[in-house]
Amino acid sequence: MGKKIIGFLLVIGLMIGTSGCTSSSDKEPLTRTDIVMGTPVTISIYEGGSEDILQKSFDKVSQIESLLSINKSGTEIDKLNENAGIKKIKLSETSYKIIKRAVKYSHLSDGGYDISVGPLVKLWSIGLPEAKVPTQKEIDEVIKLVDYNNIELNDSTQEVYLNKKGMILDLGSIAKGYAADEVASLLKKEGVTRAIVNLGGNIYAVGSKNDNEDWNVGIQNPFSDRGEVVGTIHISNKSIVTSGIYERFIEKDGKKYHHILNPKTGYPFETEIAGVSIISKESIDCDALSTLVFTKGLDEGLKFVEGIKDVDAVFVTKDKKVYITNGIKDNFKITNKEFILSN
Q: What are the tens digits of pLDDT across the range 161-201?
A: 999 999 999 898 899 999 999 999 999 999 999 999 999 88
pTM for this prediction: 0.88
Domain boundaries, the chain: 1-343
Nearest 5 degrees, angle CA 77-CA 82-CA 83? 100
DSSP letter assigned to residue 150 = G
CA gap 300, 243 in Å, rounded? 16
277 is in an annotated binding site: no
287 is in an annotated binding site: yes
Residues in contact with 151: Cβ distance below 8 Å, sequence separation at least 6, in sequence order: 99, 103, 115, 116, 160, 161, 162, 163, 169
299 is in an annotated binding site: no
Residue 221: band (very low, low, confident or very high) from pLDDT cuts 50, 70, 90 = confident
CATH 3.30.1490.20 describes domain 1-343: no
Measured in whole angstroms, how far is the alpha carbon of residue 242 from the centre of its chain?
7
Q: How many helices (H) and strands (E) does the chain have?
A: 7, 18
Nearest to 203 by CA among 231, 228, 233: 233
Q: Judge whether residue 236 has pLDDT over 50.
A: yes
Q: Are 281 and 178 in contact (CB under 8 A)?
A: no
What does the mean pLDDT of the chain come to?
Answer: 88
Nearest 5 degrees, angle CA 67-CA 69-CA 71? 140
